[in-house]
Each structure stands twice: as C-alpha cells, then as structure tokens.
Amino acid sequence: MIFQAQNTTEETRQQIPMELTVLMLLLILIHFSTLLMNQPPAYWLDPQYATPKASFGFLLSGGPWFFIGIALFYLIVIWGLLRKLPARLGLLLAAVLSLPHTVGLFETIYCGWQPVHAAHSAMACSVYSQGSIITFYILFSLILLGSRLPVWLRTWGRRLISPLAVGLVLFMGYGLFRVALPPSSDWRPLAPKHHPGPRTNTMIAYDTQRQRAVMFGGIQEWNGNTWVYDNSTWEWDGQDWIEINTPISPTGRVMHAMAYDEKRGTIVMYGGKNNSGDLADLWEYDGSNWRRLCPVCNPAARFGHKMFYDPELEMVVMYGGQTGGVGYTEAWTWDGFAWNYLTIDTSSPGMFNAPLIHIPEQHRSISFMPGDYGGTWVWENKAWSKLDLSLQPSLRNEAVLVYGPLQDISVLFGGTVDYDIFFNDTWVLQEDAWSPLTIARAPRPRARAAAFYDPIRQSVIVYGGEANGQIFADMWEFKFSGETNP
C-alpha cells in the first residue's frame, strides 16, 4: 500500500504526511506527462516544434528524452526533500510547488490527454482544466485535515486512493507510450526545417507549373488587443517551406480566396477581411512579386468565398461569400482582364464558410455546405444540385475538402459546429458516396485549416487551423493507402 497510517514516533511527527508527499509527486508526474503528451506529434521528430509557453515548457527545447530525464531527476529530488524536511518546511515546499504545477496542469490538460482522448467542445475543455485543479486542492485539504476526518472516511480513502494512484501512473505511461511510438496511420505529421508558424484562416493555392504551394494571409495570434493578421508569402516545394520576400505585398487578411490561373501562370487572390473591414481588392502573384489588378471593376466586397480554375472556360471562377451577414449566391469569372458575371441556370445555394473543389476530369465542382443548405452539392453544366445521400458527414462549418486526382477521391477533414464543437474525423467521397475512415491517429480536432493536394508527395496536406482558442502550427499529410477501414 502506498499510504500507511502515521505512527506516533517523534521522527514521523516531524515530517509531512506520506499521503501529501505522494499527492505532490502525482501532481508533478501528471503535469509533466500531460505537457509532453500534448506537444505536436512533429515535436518527436524535431524539438523546434515544441510549444514551450506553459510552465516548465522551456525544458522541452532539449528534446523529449532530455525532458523525460530532467523530469525523473526532479521527481527524485522533490521526493527526497519532502521526506527529509521538517513538517513545517515540507508543508511550505508542498504549497509553493503546488502553484506552478497546478497552473501548468491547467494549461496543458486544457482539452484532455491528446494521444488518449481529446475533448471536442469548449465545455469539455473547461471541465478538464478546472476539474484537475479542483480535484487536487480537495485532496490537498482532506490530507491536511488528517485525524479530524471520520475514521470511516480515512479508512476508505486509503483503500481507494492507492489503486487509483497506481492506475493513474499506468495511464500516464500509456499516454507517453502512444506519443513516443504512435500507431501506423494514413495521417502522418510532417516536420519541415522551416515553417510559417501558427496560422488559422490562411489560404493556399498550388502552382502546377512551378510545383509550389503558395500560402498567404491568416491570423497568427491574439496580442491582447486585436488579431495579428499576417501578410507574408510562403512557398512549399514538397520538402520545406520558404518565405518569399516580395517588394510589394497585399495587406494581411483572412477568409480570402486564392486560385492558380493555369493559362496565365499566376496565383489570383480576391477579397477577405481584416481590421479595415470586408475587402474587394484583386491581386496576382507570379512567383516573385504581388501586383494589384483591376482596382475599379471588382465584384462587391466579400469574405468566405471560394475560387478555382476551370480549364474548360480557361478562367478563374469565384463563387459565394458573404458581407454584413448576407450570403452571396452568385458566380463570377476572371479572364485576366475583367470580371464577368456568370449566369447559373438554377437557384443557387448561399455558400460561405464551406469548402469548394473543382474536378476537371468530371467537369464539375463539389461543396459540402452547413446550415440551411447543409449537405453535399454538385455544380455542373451551370446548375447546382444537392445529392440525396443516406450517409454523409455531420453538418459543419470550416472543414477542408481536397480532391486527390491519383486516387480519384475527395477527402474531407475537420470542421466545427458553432465554434464550440470541433471535429477530426476523416471522410472520403468517391462516385457520389461518402465513407468514414477508421484511422488510428489523426490531427487534433480543428477548423479553418488550409489544405491542398501535393502532386510531388501524392498526398493531401493540411496546415494549421484552430480549436477552442488555440491556433495550430502543425502540418499533416494524408496518404490514402486503400487499407483503411471505411
């Protein structure tokens, strides 16, 4: 048994209760284990991906095994001090240590133990973080009360806490095992040498001629007063990210739209929003510089819209978006010189905060929409139609949807409901039928991530996103092996 009844010798009376010593060690163990478990999976590939903002997080920069070694040494030292110090000094040390470690646990356990269980809602995240602190201080107080508690409570407490403590240690060990030796999965973390950092609501378009994915915009963080909008340009070459320092750059923004114009060999970007409001500016990027286009002939300002290149029309097509809470049900084409309104033959859904992909081989576009229009929609022959499917993903905003031409499938990942519940499920759409995939490991639940198909790696790439107030800087690829279980 971990907890033994206190004897009445003078030596024992001069020490803090054994129960309190073990409780403090468990607090430290859970804090350090959770801190390590909740690091991005890329951290185990490269320590530069550590998120060291939490208490004791600065130790992570040495790598996971260095951190584990320091943590074990720290536990041994604390054990020795708490068992050797007189009662008053031991109690003072326990009280002082409890503060940084409960704060650290509050920060790191916020949404659960990621390798074992991740909370999908803001309420569940709060239960994890607040519940951990409340539980600790209840136990701390009960131990201090000691002999003043009823005999039956002390007896049953000792009987229950011992196996629970052992179980908790085993649970932490299992979580660390899962992050150190994760199961094989079609989702794999990437750890390039360079990366754009935390990013949500950024946009990526793939330049097929130069074989580069171009990222622009998004939000990096909340600085306490406002969102920090990014206006840097990054390119992904299949192995690493490279920041492109352009002489001129658009203003930072979110919820803009980007597409690669294959006929003209440029990335086209339109609209979005930032602290200035909804935007209606049009830009193109040629691989070295940004240039503003057509300052007076744009459609109305909007955000949340989508764009793609249609090889049949040889034009960039823009659809949907919103401004002032009103969703647009219109399409426009850009021919390199002017915008032209595109007439659609049927009534159109108001699409915003939803993914839209174009499949040239099938001569159609596909969207998975939330809200009143919720479901799978197909746009072909200048007409929208909603697929009547018995099985499809639950309705959601801000998911990613990417078409893999090699596999001839579309992959949907993540999304949110009311920015309170976040998903990390994976679905594939093939021949107008959805199938959920049972995958051993996937990125954390999130929305507003950026995604694209990388023909060099022949995989779907997902970068960043956000959930429950946290902005991610991780990067994942999905390689459809054909062996996952739908």
pLDDT tens for residues 178-190?
A: 999 999 999 999 9
Mean pLDDT of 153-169: 85
- Domain stop point among 141, 162, 180: 180
- Domain stop point among 180, 210, 244: 180
| Residue 361 CB contacts under 8 Å (≥ 6 apart), including other chains | 405, 408
CA 391 to each of CA 367, 379, 432: distance values in angstroms, whole numbers, following the listed order: 16, 20, 11
Neighbours of 368 (CB within 10 A): 25
For 108-125, write each residue's pLDDT tens digit. 998 999 888 888 898 899
On whether both 83 and 52 belong to a single domain, the answer is: yes
Q: Identify the CATH number of the domain in which residue 410 sits.
A: 2.120.10.80
Q: Is the pLDDT of residue 79 over 70?
A: yes
158-162, 265-269, 370-374, 417-421: which is most confident? 265-269
Is residue 453 a part of any domain in this protein? yes
Residue-level length of the chain: 486
Q: Is the pLDDT of residue 484 over 70?
A: no
On whether both 362 and 296 belong to a single domain, the answer is: yes
The better pLDDT of the pair 53, 394 is held by 394
On whether both 156 and 203 belong to a single domain, the answer is: no
Q: What confidence category does residue 482 fall into, taking pLDDT thresholds of 50, 70 and 90? A: low
Is residue 220 a part of any domain in this protein? yes
Q: What confidence category does residue 305 fall into, taking pLDDT thresholds of 50, 70 and 90? A: very high
Is residue 1 a part of any domain in this protein? no
Distance CA 340, CA 450 (A): 28
CA 23 to each of CA 69, 190, 202: distance values in angstroms, whole numbers, following the listed order: 21, 38, 44
Is residue 4 a part of any domain in this protein? no
Least-confidence region, from 51-55, 214-218, 405-409: 51-55
For 397-430, write each residue's pLDDT tens digit. 999 999 999 989 999 999 999 999 999 999 999 9
The tokens of 86 are what? Answer: 């007189």
Is residue 3 a part of any domain in this protein? no
DSSP-based three-state secondary structure for 439: coil
Is residue 2 a part of any domain in this protein? no
- Report the number of distinct structural domains present in the chain: 2
Q: Is the pLDDT of residue 172 over 70?
A: yes
Q: How far is CA 248 from the centre of its chain?
A: 31
Is residue 419 a part of any domain in this protein? yes
The tokens of 339 are what? Answer: 């915008």
On whether both 285 and 175 belong to a single domain, the answer is: no
The rounded radius of gyration (Å) of the Cα atoms in the chain is 27
On whether both 137 and 194 belong to a single domain, the answer is: no
The better pLDDT of the pair 172, 294 is held by 172
| DSSP states along 202-237 | -EEEEETTTTEEEEE--EEEE-SSSEEE---EEEE-
On whether both 281 and 430 belong to a single domain, the answer is: yes
On whether both 139 and 26 belong to a single domain, the answer is: yes
- Domain stop point among 136, 160, 180: 180
Mean pLDDT of 214-224: 90
Is residue 5 a part of any domain in this protein? no
On whether both 203 and 111 belong to a single domain, the answer is: no
Q: Is the pLDDT of residue 11 over 50?
A: no
On whether both 194 and 172 belong to a single domain, the answer is: no
134 lies in which domain range? 10-180
Averaged confidence pLDDT in the chain: 90
Buried b (16+ CB within 10 A) or exposed e, 353-366: bbbbbbbeeeeebb
For 348-366, write each residue's pLDDT tens digit. 888 888 999 999 999 999 9
On whether both 166 and 226 belong to a single domain, the answer is: no
On whether both 31 and 153 belong to a single domain, the answer is: yes
On whether both 167 and 207 belong to a single domain, the answer is: no
Least-confidence region, from 233-237, 294-298, 465-469: 294-298
Q: Is the pLDDT of residue 75 over 60?
A: yes
Q: What confidence category does residue 296 fall into, taking pLDDT thresholds of 50, 70 and 90? A: low
